Structures are given as C-alpha cells and as structure tokens.
Amino acid sequence: MINYASKTALITGASSGIGAEFAREFAARGANLVMIARDRQQLDSMAAELHAAHGVTVTPIEWDLSLSGAGTHLVAEMAQRGIRVDVLVNSAGFGTHGTLANTDSAILSQEMNVNMNAVAETTRGFLAPMLEANSGVIINIASLAAFAPRPHHAMYSATKAFVLSLTQAVWGEVRGTGVRITAVCPGPTNTNFFNVSGTPIPGGKAQPASGVVTAALTAIEHEKPRTVPAPAVMKIAMKVMGLLPVTATLKASK
C-alpha cells in the first residue's frame, strides 16, 4: 500500500466536490497539500480546517485554469516555490449544455482549457520529475461521458474522452516505472457539476464523492489504467451502447 505521509499532493478543483474529498483523504493520510481553485475564501477555510485536523502543511493557491497556458504556468509556479509534487490530482472541470453552434465560443474555450489543456499541461509538467525520481502518482478525472459522444453535451464529452485517452496512453508509457497513473470515469456524483451545467442528474441519483476517491486510490494501488465508479446499470448501458451503431446511440442521446 502506498504511503502518502509527508508527500505533497497538488489537487485542482480542490475547493469543492471530488477535489475537496481528495484533499480530505490525502490530509487524513498525512500528505501535505497544494490546493488549487478559484474560490479563495473556500480554499482558505478548507486549508485551516485540514491543517487543524491533521497537522499537515496546506498551501491554498487561487488559480484560474480556464486561462490559456494555465497548466504550464502552474508547473512553473511550483518550481519557483520549490515545491516538489509527488501526487497530482486533476479534478477541476465543468460542463456546458446546449448545441455547439449556440454555445458562446469564449465559454467553450474555457471548457477546453480547464477540462483538457490544463490536464495535459500539468500531467506532462509534473510527470518528468516523477520519472526522474522513479516515484509519483497522477489521477486524472474524466467521466462516464468519455465513452460516448452526447448531443447537447458535445464539448464536455469530447474533452473527457481526451482525458481518458491521454491518461491511458501515458499509463502505457510509464508502465514498469515507479510512477502510477489512472483515469477516473465517474457516473453522476454529488457535486456542484449539475448546478453549473444546468442539467438534471441522470436517473435522479448521484453517488457520494467519497466513493469516487476510494475507487481512484484503489485503481492506483492495483496499477489500473482506468476505473469507472458508477452504478452497475450505467456500466451495462455504456457497454451496450458501445456495441450499437453510432447513429443509434446518437439518436437515443439527449
């Protein structure tokens, strides 16, 4: 079992949802934290809470990953501060709903930067020193949506498919080293995601974020390239959709 005590875990989207659960879990395991998000007030509150509860060092950093090159700049910021990142969790993300033609182009650019570009940039930037040290963990949050294109969620599905593909390919590149990486593809989860995207929760039920964190860390322990924490019925549905002609699945999607 990996010992995270005294390691440093950098978590994006750390002020709420899945990212906040990762922060709590790693702090409980004795890891120092670098918490990245745009909500400075919430970051400071969580940092104080986790430091008081576990005695770990918590560094809250207000950072906007929707800006071009934000991931690359974050890697440089950590180097400038002299912070070695042992664990990277790319949890920040958001989704848009509507037709691609009618969605504001600036919002789409931000969605690509947060969901895709920042993930690629930080994965690459922090991976090199991990390989040099022959030790490290990278957890990239994708989505169940990565497995099928969904009309009216076109950009979100596409960005999450990118995260899944990138992470699995890098898993193949680092196999046999001391670095572990996995893509996490959750089904509906109890976070602010659906409020932000303005869409209802599929099936009306959402799993707790803590279950997603547990699945991710289990996948890392077993060196799995991906994990899909989702209800069994959703996993079956995704497998069935994968066997159908793409036109059939697109017509069935909303």
Residue 235: pLDDT band (50, 70, 90) is low
Rg (CA), the chain: 18
Q: Is 24 within a domain?
A: yes
For the chain, give the number of residues: 254
What's the pLDDT tens digit per position in 151-198? 999 999 999 999 999 999 999 999 999 999 999 999 887 776 655 545
CA-wise closest residue to 61 among 31, 34, 93: 34
Model's pTM, two decimal places? 0.89
> How many distinct structural domains can be found in the chain?
1
Residue 175 CA to its chain's centroid (Å): 21
How far is the C-alpha of 209 from the C-alpha of 160, rounded, in Å?
A: 18
Give the chain's mean pLDDT. 90
Q: Is 3 within a domain?
A: no
Instruction: For the chain, give the percent of residues with pLDDT over 70.
Output: 85
Q: Is 41 within a domain?
A: yes
**Are residues 142 and 90 in contact, defined by beta-carbon separation less than 8 angstroms?**
no
| From 4, 22, 26, 156, the catalytic residue | 156
Predicted local confidence at residue 203, as pLDDT: 58
- With b for 16 or more beta-carbon neighbours within 10 A and e for fewer, the 156-179 pattern comes to bbbbbbbbbebbbebbeebeeeeb
156 annotated active-site = yes
Q: Is 2 within a domain?
A: no
Q: Is 1 within a domain?
A: no
**Are residues 145 and 153 in contact, defined by beta-carbon separation less than 8 angstroms?**
yes
**Are residues 9 and 86 in contact, defined by beta-carbon separation less than 8 angstroms?**
yes
Predicted local confidence at residue 206, as pLDDT: 74
Residue 244: pLDDT band (50, 70, 90) is low
Residue 187's domain spans which residues?
Answer: 8-252
Predicted local confidence at residue 207, as pLDDT: 77
> Is residue 201 scored above 70 in pLDDT?
no
> Is residue 19 scored above 70 in pLDDT?
yes
Q: Is 26 within a domain?
A: yes
How far is the C-alpha of 243 from the C-alpha of 231, rounded, in Å?
A: 19
* CATH number of the CATH domain containing 224: 3.40.50.720
How far is the C-alpha of 90 from the C-alpha of 122, rounded, in Å?
A: 8
CB neighbour list of residue 237: distance below 8 Å, 6 or more residues apart: none
Residue 28: pLDDT band (50, 70, 90) is very high
Residue 65: pLDDT band (50, 70, 90) is very high
Q: Is 39 within a domain?
A: yes
Residue 223 CA to its chain's centroid (Å): 17
